[in-house]
Amino acid sequence: MTTQDTRTADLVIVGAGPAGVSAAIEARWHGLSVLLLDENAAPGGRIWQALEARGAKDEDDADALRILQAFRGCEADAHWGATVWAIDPDGTVYWSADGATRSVRGAFVLLATGTTERPLPIPGWTLPGVMTVGAAQIALKTAGLVPTGATWMAGQGPLLLLYAVQALRAGGRFAGVLDLSDRRAKWGALPHLPRAMRALTDLRKGLLWWNQIRRARVPWIRASDLHAQGEGALSRVRFRTGGRIRVEPADLLLLHDGVTPSVQITRALGLAHTWDAAQRSWKPTTDEWGASSLANLLVAGDGTGVGGALAATFAGRLAALGAACKLGRIDVATRDAAAAPLRAARARHLALRPLLDALYAPRPPMLDDTTLVCRCEEVTAGQIRAAATIGALGLNQLKAFTRCGMGPCQGRMCGATAAEVMAAARGVPVEQVEPYRTRFPTKPLTLGELAALNEDA
Amino acid sequence: MLTRPESATLPTNDTLTVYFAGRPIAARAGDSVAAALLAGGITVTRQTPVTGAARGPYCMMGACFDCLAVVDGRPSVQTCMTQVRDGMRIDRQDGARGLAIEP
Amino acid sequence: MAQAEHASESFDVAVIGGGMVGTAIAYGCAARGARPALLDQGDLSLRAARANAGLIYSQGKGEGLPAYAAWTRRSISLWPAFAEVMASAASRPIGFRQRGVLAFCLGEEELEARRALLQRMHNQLGGPAAPVHLLDRHAVEAMLPDVRLGPRVVGATYSPEDCDVNALPLLRALNAGFLQAGGTHLLERTVARIIPRGDGFDIVSDRDTVHAAKVVVACGLGIPHLAPMVGLHAPVRPVRGQMIVTERLAPMLPIPGSGVRQIHEGVVQIGTTTEEGEIVPATTVADLARMAARAVQVIPALAEARIVRSWAGIRPMTPDGCPIYQQSPAHPGAFVAVCHSGVTLCAAHAGPLAEGILAGKLPDDVADLQPDRFDAHTT
């Protein structure tokens, strides 16, 4: 392999969100050498994106900024604008920055790559002017853009509430919010309320957001059967509410149906995954120190199951402690003593999760045949159903038969939906549908950049 | 649509200019190209090579590949993962890209 | 959906293995009016069928074994008509083209090696599977006006009658055609045993037992486990192939090259590797880099193209690289069929081979492609 950069590190961290930066701080504290890679220009991941540039707006932000400052001071070797595209089982990590690839071998590699948004495919969802709520939040945090005019939000989940509050605070306006959640989910959520009370602060926060949106008089509409419509770009939304159909002008539609762990890299590594029924997602199997089915490959944060930023910080620290002990920098007693309060704190912050998972339970999509599932290759739900009738049992045979999942996004946008459509067509539980097999490179690089790594004459 | 409020409180306010299909668009240092385009009212950055359908930024985090455009003559650039530069030229990417870099 | 949940009926032929070989044979049987069943595992079985370059390729085939060259020639002659049948079975194009295939030569050494191979094939009994010409750089440039070749390209060997096809739509078409012709899919079954009975065979899987008058063991790397149960012998070993696929590009390569091919959707396929003994279908950075480097040497402008995905597949390889066909001497009606070039031979498998299986006698074309060639030391 490439000989220009045969550097090594005790711990290589992919992702500078809450889990990644916390792991870096903890690892550096115990004397490990740390190399951290992130695609963005600064630390923070999604939830704390551009926080250093934006400044703190509330106490949560202030706490987060303190962690980022500690990270800056911990002397981890951080590389920004670095896109990881391959990882070898021996811990060699390849990344691309400025059109050239470098590599490092970590005794341990920690994946802290968080989540992607669950797709919410509706008719017309590929029209320009339809984006995710997460996208709008990124635009707000990095460029200060706010929604105006005829902006609609649709879907369900805490992020939808949070963004609404942030956008309103920044001077944005919404034409309305279409609540696509299951009305009966409230009842399914009730049993989880007692446990959720352990995270009283988080619970109160959520209610506060809800109240702020109400006070801003943003129309909150229980809806279903949403269509995005327009000729070449979004110009209206069509939905069913209160037993009738409404059509409203729209120039921006923001969709959200929760987030799901990023498994692109963990799948390409062939790691073991388990199905999380409550969150209706696959997640890599990890032990209490974040070790996956490959002992030197660690995973921490939302990538092991959605739990929120604070839970992620503790998970990152636990992973670093585990690595530090395995590398002989601390003994088992020290490790366990340090870990105990972290586990307790993490458990407290995860207490709200079962309630949220039930309240915002992802619903199996009901797509008509003409709705696109694979955005890249423009494959419809109908084509997926047809493939199931001629022998495609899972997503890999589906890919072969229809090109679904063969585009540049490598199935990130379509995998969850394709599995649901196929499961419904076959009459099996969705977790029985084999997911896409992904392989490195998991991010695009040019043939030239890859060719430059060739050592043969 | 997404707009930049007059009372923007971002500390950096270096304005610069990028060009989309020759049309000047105001931007700020630190914007992604996609954000600058959206703020300028542009939602279409490409036509797909599969059916020619119009597409534009969707996820803003480098995962969907719908925001591809030709940037300074270079095709298939993810505009949401690219920061603006003063004088940058952005053009719609229509269909399958060619190989030679346009001068 | 003609998929049996519990197979209680009896079939004329049970084909084990839903890959390129098995599905072609199963389709051929169904198209001839038989009642075949096609047994296959789940979505993630080894599936060499998804790991090929889609070339219908004759160059170098059958060196030292003229029967293979002849069999390849026969399949290529059947391909155009077969392609039309497949396209209508799938109701969509399968990307079949008969424009020949170019094998680029980088550097004089490669050119000399190809020249020597051409000479050997020419001198062999029956000659090459199909005509091959040695082209110098100018001739190659004339054939590819929309690309500039790298400086190390000194020429190529060109087989004008060869073809290429999109292998995955082909597999889909075979499955669709098989079902349309009345075939039965028996999926998610891993066959554990084949038991000869008086009137046929019991095929025991983890789900049920299927009975058929004839059985075809066509499950690639699974063959060594099952074949001996019915007196068949077909040694195969695993060989890994990796490939790179680019983003869609404007049309620039009208003729497929053996390592660089642009399919009609516009993506360029680059590869493959041939790695002995690798059984994990993973890609490796070193091999990807090597394939990329070669592609960029052939067409330097490809350096700007973005890689959209890569894949790796484990394929069966026989001791001499040539196919193996056999009807069991001890249990007539039991057959084995395996090859490395499942796409090239697909037309022959769906045609004369399927016909022979149904008639209970393998075609004469494959008489010299039996496994006994590995026992005897012929000169």
pLDDT in tens, chain A (457 residues): 444 557 999 999 999 999 999 999 999 999 999 999 999 999 999 999 999 999 998 899 999 999 999 999 999 999 999 999 999 999 999 999 999 999 999 999 999 999 999 999 999 999 999 999 999 999 999 999 999 989 999 999 999 999 999 999 999 999 999 999 988 877 788 888 888 877 777 778 888 888 899 899 999 999 999 999 999 999 999 999 999 999 999 999 999 999 999 999 999 999 999 999 999 999 999 999 999 999 999 999 999 999 999 999 999 999 999 999 999 999 999 999 999 999 999 999 999 899 999 989 988 888 999 999 999 999 999 999 999 999 999 999 999 999 999 999 999 999 999 999 999 999 999 999 999 999 999 999 999 999 999 987 5
**Angle subtended by helix axes A395-402 and A415-426, to nearest 10:** 100
CA nearest A231 in B: which residue? B54
B26: distance to nearest CA of chain A, Å? 12
Chain A interface, mutation test: which of C285, C288, C306, most A Cβ atoms within 10 Å? C285
What pLDDT, on the 0 to 100 scale, is given for residue A182? 85
The rounded radius of gyration (Å) of the Cα atoms in chain C is 21
- The string over C131-154, giving b where at least 16 C-beta atoms fall within 10 Å of a residue's C-beta and e elsewhere, is ebebbebeebeeebeebebbebbb
Sequence ranges of the domains in chain C: 2-51+168-235+320-374, 101-160, 237-317
Domain ranges of chain B: 13-94
CA–CA dist C240, C47 (Å, integer): 12
Distance CA C144, CA C137 (A): 11
- Contact: A135, B58; criterion CB under 8 Å: yes
| pLDDT tens per residue, range A353-402 | 999 999 899 888 889 999 999 999 999 999 999 999 999 999 999 999 99
In A193-331, alpha helices (H): 193-196, 200-215, 264-268, 309-326
Q: Residue A269 and residue A263: Cα distance in Å, rounded?
A: 10
**Residue C202 to residue C196: CA distance in whole angstroms:** 6
CATH top-level class of B13-94: alpha beta
Asked whether A101 and A95 are in contact (CB, 8 A), the reply is yes
**CB of A408 less than 8 A from some CB of B:** yes
Residues of chain A numbered 84-123 and touching chain B (CB < 8 Å): 116-117
* Count of A-C CB contacts under 8 Å: 132
pLDDT at C1: 41
Which residue type does B83 have?
Answer: Q
User: A interface mutation test: which of B58, B67, B85, B92 has the most A CBs within 10 A?
Assistant: B58
- The residues, ordered by sequence, that sit 6+ positions from C331 with a Cβ below 8 Å of its Cβ are C196, C201, C230, C231
Q: What is the mean pLDDT of chain C?
A: 93
What are the two backbone dihedrals, phi and then psi, of residue C216, each rounded to the nearest 5 degrees? -120, 120
H helix intervals, A113-256:
133-143, 158-169, 185-189, 193-196, 200-215
C257, C258, C221, C265: which is closest to C239 by C-alpha?
C221
Q: Which of B50, B74, B99 is the closest to C249 by Cβ?
A: B99
Report yes or no: B98 at the C interface, CB cutoff 8 Å: yes
Q: For residue A151, which residues of chain B lie inside 8 Å, CB to CB?
A: 1-2
- What pLDDT is attached to residue C53? 83
Residues of chain B contacting residue A44, judged by C-beta atoms under 8 Å apart? none
* pLDDT at residue B9 in the model: 45
Q: How far is B43 from chain A (nearest CA, A)?
A: 5
pLDDT reading at C377 higher than 60: no
Quickly state the pLDDT bin for C379 (edges 50, 70, 90). very low
Sign of CA dihedral A399, A404, A407, A410: negative
Q: Other CB atoms closer than 10 Å to residue A207's CB: what's the count?
A: 10
Dump the DSSP string for A323-384. Answer: HHHHTTSS-HHHHHHHHHHHHHHHHHHHTTHHHHHHHTPPPPP---TTSEEETTTTEEHHHH
Angle, in degrees to the nearest 10, between helices A395-402 and C167-180 = 100
**In the prediction, which pLDDT does A202 show?**
78
pLDDT value at position C50? 74
Rounded distance between C-alpha atoms, residue A360 and residue A348, angstroms: 20
* pLDDT score of C49 more than 80: no
Taking CB atoms and an 8 Å cutoff, what residues of chain A touch B10? 53-54, 143-144
Please state, in angstroms and rounded to a whole number, the distance separating the CA atoms of residues C41 and C238.
18
Indicate the CATH number of C2-51+168-235+320-374 among 3.50.50.60, 3.30.420.130, 3.30.930.10, 3.40.1360.10.
Answer: 3.50.50.60
Taking only the tens place, the pLDDT of each residue in C60-75 is 999 999 999 999 999 9
User: Are A321 and A338 in contact, with CB atoms under 8 Å apart?
Assistant: yes
| Cα–Cα distance, C174 to C19 (Å, whole number) | 10
Q: Taking CA atoms, what residue in C is nearest to A99?
A: C304
Partner-chain residue, chosen from C187, C284, C304, that has the shortest CB–CB distance to A448:
C304
Contact C172 A456 (CB under 8 A): no
What phi, psi does A241 have (nearest 5°)?
Answer: -150, 140
The fold of the C237-317 domain, in CATH, is D-Amino Acid Oxidase; Chain A, domain 2 (3.30.9)
- CA–CA separation, A41 and A48 (whole Å): 13
What is the block-wise mean pLDDT of chain B (103 residues), using blocks of 10 residues?
75 82 95 97 97 98 97 97 97 94 38
A188 alpha carbon, distance to own chain's centre: 25
C309–A439: do the CB atoms touch at under 8 Å?
A: yes
Chosen from C262, C263, C270, C304 to mutate, greatest number of chain B CBs within 10 A: C304
Helix, strand, coil percentages in chain A from 3-state DSSP, rounded to 5:
40, 25, 40
CA dihedral (C188, C192, C194, C195) in degrees, to 10, reads: -120
User: What are the DSSP calls for C95-150, one per residue?
Assistant: --B-S-EEEEEEHHHHHHHHHHHHHHHHHSTT--SS--EEEEHHHHHHH-TTS---
Q: How far apart are CA C264 and CA C246, in angstroms?
A: 13
Residue showing tokens 């327009």: A230
pLDDT score recorded for residue B7:
61
With an 8 Å Cβ cutoff, are A233 and B38 in contact?
A: no
Q: A113: Cβ–Cβ under 8 A, 6 or more apart, which residues?
A: A14, A15, A262, A265, A303
Q: How far is A188 from chain B (nearest CA, A)?
A: 31
| CA count, 13 A, side-chain hemisphere, A186 | 2
Chain B residues with CB under 8 Å of a chain A CB are 1-5, 7-12, 28, 30-32, 35-36, 38-39, 43-44, 48, 50-51, 53-66, 76, 80-81, 83
From the candidates A133, A375, A379, A445, which should be mutated to test the interface with B, based on the most B CB atoms within 10 A? A375
Residue C4, classed as helix, strand or coil, is coil
Name chain C contacts of A393, Cβ cutoff 8 Å: 42-43, 187-188
User: CA-to-CA distance for C129 and C177, rounded, in angstroms?
Assistant: 28
Band (pLDDT 50/70/90 cuts) for residue C3 is low
User: Is the model's pLDDT at C370 over the cut of 80?
Assistant: yes
Q: What is the pTM of this model?
A: 0.94
Tell me the backbone φ, ψ of residue C106, rounded to 5 degrees.
Answer: -100, 115
Interchain proximity C249–B100, CB inside 8 Å: no
ipTM of the complex: 0.94
pLDDT tens, C149-189? 999 999 999 999 999 999 999 999 999 999 999 999 999 99
The Cα–Cα gap between A402 and C371 comes to 37
Query: pLDDT at position C51, please?
Result: 75
Helix ranges, A48-112 (H): 51-54, 59-73
Model pLDDT for residues A41-99, shown as the tens digit of each residue: 999 999 999 999 999 988 999 999 999 999 999 999 999 999 999 999 999 999 999 99
